[in-house]
Amino acid sequence: MPTTPSPPESRSAVRTLLRLWPYVRPVRARLFSAAFIAILASCIGLVIPLVLKWMVDGPIADRDPAGVWLGALYLLLLGLAEALLFGFRRWLVARPLSHVEAEMRADLYRRLQRLPVAFHDRWPSGQLLSRATTDLMLLRMFLAFPLTFLLVNGVTILVGVIIMLVQDWALGLVILVPAVPVLITCVVFEKRYSGAARRAQDQVGDLTTVVEESVLGIRIIKGFGRHRSQAMAFRKLSGDLRGTELHKARLLATILGVIVTLPELAIGAALVLGAVQVADGSLSAGTLVAFLSTALALRWPVDSIGFLLAMSQEAATATERYFEVMDAEPESPAPGPRPAADGGGRPRDGEGGLVFHSVGFRYPDAPEGSAPVLHGIDLHIRPGESLALVGATGSGKTTLTALVPRLHEVTEGRITLDGTDITAMSLEELRSRVAVAFEEPTLFSATVGENVLMGGGTGEEDLARALAVAQADFAHALPRGTDTQVGEQGLSLSGGQRQRLALARAVVGRPDFLVLDDPLSALDVHTEAAVEAALRRVLADTTALIVAHRPSTVLLADRVALLSGGRITAVGTHHELLRGNPEYAHLMSGAPAGEQEDQR
């Protein structure tokens, strides 16, 4: 079940939203002009009641039709100006705000690429996906509306109240009475809504994870007839989300109730009082009309505060979620601090090849007190040598291979390449010297050629050579040869075909060091033999670490190391270990291919 990785820390919404400033900065001029225009438009709206007052006390009282027409014309022009200005504002902000959204999304994507594997192990992909989509959309909406309108409406309310107080201060005070309870409600609402908003957005992330997993795992779901239970899991999560959304709606309804009702009552009271004063003759009818239409003009700015606050709160939550990812520590592409500490230059210990010096490793999320996956690993793979790594399933072979290109950082000891500590190289240099092929051959939505050339190499020649080594010549027979699209949106390849392309990707750049995690597991015996024959030529001048389950793969290597209980318990040739190490003999004899191999 997907979980939310980090608990929300409590920070005020304003402080959280201020973190958006670096992104908003480049468009600040437009945003401020837009806000200014909106304030102008809004204040033009407040002039309308004053024209009404002039009409009621002037032309209407004097029964002057021409004056009434003139007033109507003024009203029309004012209305038109207000509409045009608001339209202009929208035009002004639309482009820069979509730019802000795009920038933030690009930054998030860049960051996701640079975050270490340990981060991705910990975070459900749906949580990341929802941050890149829903949360960023909420932020754009916040910048477009609440940010401007909280300011605009605030100014409008202030100006409106001043106008009303000037018209008649006693009636103005009546209108102001609800201000205090409304403010208190807003503060209480903010607090409550913030929790609900965070919950809802996290639940959207969980839901996204489930959808993503069921799309990726559709074969398994169908194969096991699990669509019903999968649908139930989805229903449960979407039910939870619905519950949270309803809770949000109830909170919003409460604040709207207060924000709409109290001022409405105040307006009613002011109307009664004003009518009495007009009857007494102590107030002109025009003033009352102006007063009430100002009050009515302020209704939208006041009513909208509820959902503007709600949207701001959601935006604050979205910002918080966004920066949870952006604040995560990325892999540092530059050399690490350790070797730099002991003087200038890179420490060299004279040993060539790939060397593990008392390496230990535990996963960052491993439970307290559990034994580390690897400890005290000492291995020396000499230059040009290839070493097979054998061990029971779950013994830590994949983990060990991941340490070489620093997909995970060793927690003890160190690894050197030709005498240089891998933490003393930049990640770029390290990863260009070490090529890897993993257990699960991943292909991207691109052509066969592009997928292979991701591993380095420059052109057709390298590509053809790599395909030949990996016995992936089937690629030339694809509908469009090596230009055929594969991956999720392209042609589906078989497991063995994908594995051979992944192998081609590993060897295409002629790396100095090759790390292969069980690279031939999905191949039939004959293809395997052909790949091995070709691979042997590559391995002749490459230092290689090859995880192997089958004797046929082991025989590719010069020596074998046995990984057991997190340690290397034996190193030797295949035949030495087969004779002298019962655990190794047991591991190797279990595989059917092993028997064939031994009979050879």
Ligand X SMILES: Nc1ncnc2c1ncn2[C@@H]1O[C@H](COP(=O)(O)OP(=O)(O)OP(=O)(O)O)[C@@H](O)[C@H]1O
Q: What is the Cα–Cα distance from 247 to 188, expressed in whole angstroms?
A: 15
Among all residues, whose Cβ is closest to ligand X?
398
Residues 534-593 that bind Mg ion (CB under 5 A): none
User: Taking CB under 5 A as the rule, does residue 185 contact Mg ion?
Assistant: no
> Which residue, 143 or 588, is less far from Mg ion as judged by CB?
588
Q: Among 399, 499, 553, 581, which residue sits at the site for ligand X (rule: CB under 6 A)? A: 399
DSSP symbol at 362: -
Does the footprint of Mg ion cover residue 447 (CB under 5 A)? Answer: no
Q: Kindly state whether residue 368 participates in binding ligand X, applying the rule CB under 6 A.
A: no
Q: Which of residues 252-291 bind ligand X (CB under 6 A)?
A: none
By CB under 6 A, is residue 373 in contact with ligand X? yes
Contact 288, 278 (CB under 8 A): yes
Task: Single out the segment in contact with Mg ion by CB under 5 A; choices: 165-173, 233-241, 271-279, 396-404.
Answer: 396-404
For position 511 contacting ligand X by CB under 6 A, the verdict is no
Yes or no: say if 532 and 520 are a contact pair by the CB < 8 Å rule.
yes
Nearer Cβ to Mg ion (202/517)? 517
Distance set, CA 280 to CA 161, 284, 453 (Å): 24, 10, 91
> At its nearest, how many Å lie between ligand X and the CB of residue 501?
20
Q: Which range, of 85-93, 345-353, 363-371, 496-504, touches ligand X by CB under 6 A?
A: 363-371
Does residue 287 belong to the site contacting Mg ion (CB under 5 A)?
A: no
Q: Specify burial of residue 217 (Cβ count, 10 A radius: 0-12, 13-18, 19+).
A: middle
Distance between alpha carbon 237 and the CA centroid of its chain, in Å?
20
Q: Which two tokens stand for residue 398?
A: 């994949």
Comparison of 314 and 528: residue with beta carbon closer to ligand X? 528
User: Which C-beta is closer to ligand X: that of 297 or that of 562?
Assistant: 562
CB 232 within 8 A of CB 283: no
Decide: 487 and 446 in contact? Cβ < 8 Å.
yes
Q: How far is the CB of 366 from ligand X (least distance, A)?
A: 6
Q: Which residues contact 254 (CB under 8 A, 6 or more apart)?
A: 185, 189
If one asks whether residue 394 binds ligand X (CB under 6 A), the answer comes out as: yes
State the nearest-atom distance from the C-beta of 517 to Mg ion, in Å.
Answer: 6
What are the beta bridge partners of residue 417?
Answer: 354, 420
Residue 393 interacts with ligand X (CB under 6 A)?
yes
- What burial letters (b/e) apply to 559-598, b meaning 16+ CB within 10 Å? bbbbbbebbbebebebeebbeebebbeebbeeeeebeebe
Q: In whole angstroms, how close is the CB of 100 to ligand X at the nearest point? A: 35
User: Which residue lies nearer to Mg ion by CB, 311 or 437?
Assistant: 437
Taking the least distance from each CB to ligand X, the nearer of 399 and 581 is: 399
* 600: its two tokens: 């050879």
The yes or no reply on residue 401 touching Mg ion (CB under 5 A) is no
By residue count, the chain amounts to: 600
Q: Does 398 bind Mg ion (CB under 5 A)?
A: yes
In angstroms, give the least distance from the CB of 561 to ligand X: 13
Under rule CB under 6 A, which residues in 34-93 are in contact with ligand X? none
User: Measured at the alpha carbon of residue 14, what is the angle toward residues 8 and 16, in degrees to the nearest 5?
Assistant: 40
- φ, ψ for residue 491, nearest 5 deg: -60, 135
Stretch that binds Mg ion, among 192-200, 224-232, 397-405, 483-491 (CB under 5 A): 397-405
Q: Which of 398, 542, 543, 552 binds ligand X (CB under 6 A)?
A: 398
127 touches ligand X by CB under 6 A: no
Q: Where are the alpha helices (DSSP H) in 145-226?
A: 146-167, 169-176, 179-216, 218-223
Nearer to Mg ion, 274 or 396 (CB): 396
Contact positions toward ligand X, by CB under 6 A? 121, 363, 365-366, 373, 391, 393-399, 439
